[in-house]
Chain A
Amino acid sequence: MLKDILVIILSLLMSSCIKETNPVIDDLNESYLSGEGVFILNEGNFRSGNGSLSFFSYDSLKIFNHVFLDINQRPLGDIPYSMIIHGTMAYIVVNNSGKIEVVNSRDMTSAATINGILSPRYVSFIDETKAYVTSLYSDSLAILDLSSNSVSGYINLRKSSESIVIVHTTAYVANWTGGNEIIVINTDNDQVTDSIEVGAEPESMVIDKNETLWVLCNGGWKREYFAELIGIDTRTNSIKKRLTFPSINDSPTCLQIDGKGEMLFYILDGIRRMNIDDVQLPVVDFIPNSDHSFYKMGVNPDNDEIFVTDAVDYVQKGNVLRYRREGTLISEMQVGIIPGGICFKFNADTNTQTK
């Protein structure tokens, strides 16, 4: 008996000396990042720090998970929300970590981390040296100096900001949570010049081939207002089309557009599609959800393939579904927890952005 006790005590004391440096361990896979493909940002659970980055390779037709962790040997952070490639660098906005990870787009090695940004959501590039960062909680837009990877200033919006679209020297910024405005900024002097009243909670925006800004207003979570799809003429900043969703319970999200700038897509349980010239909202699904929980989507501007994320139950690993332009399913691949933002990678220096 005494011998057993001694063994127990010694083993416990020895295990006390275990030193851990990285608390989270995940299965490792070989990364394969060369060639064209699609990045999927897995948000992970709020405050759990288990966000990750997946990559679908067009060369191998394989999906590679936790790419950032594998290459940089540290987790990506809490709620990676959006990603955009600019030249040879990619910018990953990690919302609840308050940072932007700057990585080399070819191999995902870390180049810099821009800290100290309050709840960042999207990055949009003005020119080779300047970008804007929207914020869920701050009432200012952060200005990034791309040469030093630092915040060089702020534009006071007096409102929070979500999606952003740049048209020539004008930035259109959506005031999503609790808002109903599109704020107009002159990117030459970083001054707010105008605001456009739209529907309740403008959630996502795209620009079409005619430089019409399409704004999807989801009506707010309390369902007090009808959701709307609004077209704004960016030459006059006036509303030229306003389509109201038929049910107060309709809550469309994630507006996207095809490569030609002609077809609009959004999620409303399934995926709906409409031409920019249509005068009515589509009443049937272009792609039914088929018991998936569609969360975010992206349309490849090069081949119009549609990538849709399925968050399943928001607890376990989700999936990404790849569809042809005509809506037929090509493949379904497992990614990380709560897959959200999608970013397309091309060999040419094409800027793409997640939605």
Chain B
Amino acid sequence: MLLSMPLHGQISPGHNTILIKEVEILGKTISQDNKGYKTLHIDSSMVGDYSQRTLADLIAENSLIYIKTYGSDGLATSSFRGTGPAHTQITWNNINLNNPMIGQSDLSIVPAGFLDDIYIYYGSGSMSINSGGSGGVIDLETKPAWNGQNVLTLNPGTGSFGRHSGLLKVKAGNAGFQSVTKAFCKNSENNFRYLNSVSGQVPYYETRKNNEARQIGFIQELYYRNLKSTFSARLWYQSASRNLPVPITSPTMNPPEKQHDESLRAMFTYDYLRGLTDLNFTAAFISDKLDYTNTLASVNSDNLSRRIILKGEIERRINSVLKVEFAFNNELNIVNTNNYEGIKVRNLASAYTIAEADIDSWLVAKLLVREMLQDTRLLSPDFSVSSEIKPFQGKYYFIKVSFSKNSKIPTLNDMYWSPGGNPELENENGYSSEVTWEMTNTISKSLRIKNDLTFFRNHLYNMIQWHPGDFSYWVADNISTLTSTGLESSVDINFTASVFRLRLNAGYSYTRATNEELNADNLILSGKQLVYIPVNQINALLRLSLRQFYSTITTRYTGRRFLTADNSQYLPQYSVSNLNLGLKLNTQCTSWDIGFIIENLFNANYQNIAYYPMPRRSYLVSIVFQLKK
């Protein structure tokens, strides 16, 4: 049964028009050949279906990563395999986007329409991107299309609860130069009706208030290439202003809580390929501003972090067996906030090397060793070893085995928040191991089935936890230990017959995550499931297309999530389905994609976080118009 359960494997397009992409050699990074590790690729055809939705929606429906969200347009964070949001790294073309103050990213303010591809690296597999992603890395890729076609895309959308959005894309250029422009705006009132069963004598429906969100974003990318090299310059600006609604246990308390996020990201990349050597150099500047105000409580929190990142990689194939890579990464963090005492500066330098050996046609082994320097403090090295075995010649069956030691530096809030920050905090460390069985069977020309099954175990220690201190505020300390074990299984079935295509992709995950604290008072919590980590999750996606019509139905089942550390209270399981119906019309120079999306098809009342209701059934109409030349 588990093997037959679908897992989200390689996502393939369900469109009735298939564009075979040009093979790109320049700019390929070694990380995407992550041999020996489980990796999930969500390609542009599937990402395109979410052009009017958020990265949080896309990840939730296409992977088994648990997305914890405060509701539509509310803060959304990810949890891999029982780890926390700070153990997930969100990267943009391999550059870490996580805010150094909080060590995490808000997936709800990343428009999926900005993205071309998504790579998800689980556990040990994340280490070839960066350190600290004990859970994993979600890499957001934006890239040019070197097909010489100029494309203008207009994508307006409108939906329930005062939702209006628009996406503009312009791709222009030739075989040597490409310009990609994307702009996005979104307004949502989010004034949905929900069932309040906690505030009155009897349950009653009421309207969510103080939940408005406004968002704009802009990406400009320029690419130049010649025979041996590619140069790219990217700029990403985005801004989101949101009112923050209160939990429904505070029925009449709607303090004017607001949050304004503003990010500016600039990146310059140079790729050079000569013979068997591939050189990559990236320089990036990232500015994140987060302002929170609550005039009622006289809280005005202004936070500005700026980062300068330099990253270089050189990869060389030594011979037919051995390939090596050397890389360095330097990240300078400068934070100015009224929550710290003064401006804080931190520099993180790391160097790593990867050796990959194709020992035989059936065996690949890989070793990664990384050393980090935090300001002047040299940290204990991290490592990762993996192997990929192909047990049967001629069959696409693989066994992937990996083991790693990974460490995460404390966030700047953990170190410097006033009061309670602890500059003496040590790194969080952890060991991860996993075994994956993956097989792809091409039954016939029209039917392909891919299954995989993964067992994993993470053991993180020295974890940072805030706890009551000697005075009337909490302090951060390295006191906690996390152990998570579980399995992930998936199946991906693709069936094609003439003008009919079917794709079924589904997965199941079992995650047992417990917290072991080094405090004798907390022995009672030993072995208890961590809060907001569901033990069971199931995802299913069924896509059908016939000629120019297509339909996708997705279902997510999320099991019980405990609310208290002693597991005495929990949120019940829920299941939510979405339906997407669409029609594609093509002419020689234009194409139309008219989509109608019903979210929460069966009108479930549910909460992802206690007392923050999620919208009931809602509708979204989206039109994608493309002009190609």
Query: Which residue numbers of A lie inside 8 Å of B, CB to CB?
Result: 1, 4-5, 8-9, 12-13, 15-27, 45, 47-50, 72, 74-75, 77-78, 96-99, 110, 113, 115-116, 118-119, 137, 218, 221-223, 249, 251, 253, 291, 293, 311-317, 337
Contacts and interface: CB of A to CB of B under 8 A. Distances in A.
Interface in B515-541: 517, 519-522, 524-525, 538, 540
B270 to A, nearest CB: 47
A221 B471 contact: yes
B425 interface: no
Interface stretch (B77-85, B432-440, B602-610): B602-610
B573 A18 contact: yes
A73 B440 CA distance: 52
Given A49-B610, A99-B251, A12 B538 contact: yes
7 contacts: A16-B577, A24-B571, A50-B569, A78-B249, A97-B251, A116-B252, A221-B471
A26 B473 contact: no
Contacts of A99: 251-252
Contacts of A27: 568
B570 interface: yes
A54 B249 CA distance: 19
Interface string B1-45: 100111000000000000000000000000000000000000000
Given A21-B203, A222-B419, A253-B472, A13 B521 contact: no
A260 B419 CA distance: 40
Interface residues of B, number: 69
A77 B610 contact: no
B297 interface: yes
Contacts of A110: 201
Interface string B348-361: 00000000000000
Contact of A20 (B521, B542, B572): B572
Given A47-B247, A78-B249, 20 more contacts: A12-B540, A12-B555, A12-B575, A16-B555, A16-B601, A18-B575, A20-B605, A21-B195, A21-B605, A49-B248, A72-B201, A74-B198, A75-B198, A77-B198, A118-B253, A119-B297, A137-B297, A251-B471, A293-B521, A337-B564
B116 interface: no
B572 A25 contact: yes
B472 A97 contact: no
A316 B540 contact: no
Contacts, number: 181
B504 to A, nearest CB: 6
Interface of B: 1, 4-6, 195, 197-201, 203, 246-253, 255, 296-298, 419, 449, 467-468, 470-474, 493, 504, 506, 517, 519-522, 524-525, 538, 540, 542, 555, 557, 563-566, 568-577, 601-602, 604-607, 610-611
Contact of A15 (B471, B557, B605): B557
A23 B252 CA distance: 20
B465 to A, nearest CB: 9
Contacts of A21: 195, 197, 203, 605
A50 B298 CA distance: 25
A50 B540 contact: no
Given A50-B563, A50-B569, A74-B199, A98 B250 contact: yes
Contacts of B573: 15, 18
Contacts of B576: 16
Nearest to A337: B564
Given A26-B569, A50-B569, A313 B467 contact: yes
Nearest to B299: A137
A75 B249 contact: yes
B521 A8 contact: no
A221 B473 contact: yes
A1 B248 CA distance: 45
